[in-house]
Amino acid sequence: KAGVTQTPRYLIKTRGQQVTLSCSPISGHRSVSWYQQTPGQGLQFLFEYFSETQRNKGNFPGRFSGRQFSNSRSEMNVSTLELGDSALYLCASSLLGQRNEKLFFGSGTQLSVL
């Protein structure tokens, strides 16, 4: 069974640009969550999607958005990039997104903003 796939693995952008990251969950998983990981702040929850609906949102500005498609694949978008957006963006999938369900993480997309 294929794991969670995130593309691309690495991205370099400049301030002011926008970026779209992609996540393909494990087959059959309907919940996709996104996390940002930085050395200073650690792992922080961005948002969670289930059946194409955003079900939960973390404390990030509106420049961070996401969506989920009918096949459960998800994308997240960051507009007007800032230097502080440089981070590892991790996607995690689970069957139904219920508490205590096992989360399966992808390898992440490393975003560098110059």
Assigned token pair, 78: 């960051």
Measured CA to CA, the distance from residue 50 to residue 85 in angstroms comes to 25
Q: How far is the CB of 108 from another protein (least distance, A)?
A: 6
Q: Which residues on adjacent β-strands are paired with residue 38?
A: 42
* CA–centroid distance for 82 within its chain: 17
Size of the site for another protein (CB under 8 A): 28
For another protein, the binding residues in 6-45 under the rule CB under 8 A are 31, 33, 35, 41-45
Give the x-and-dash track for 55-84 against another protein (CB under 8 A). Answer: xx-x--------------------------
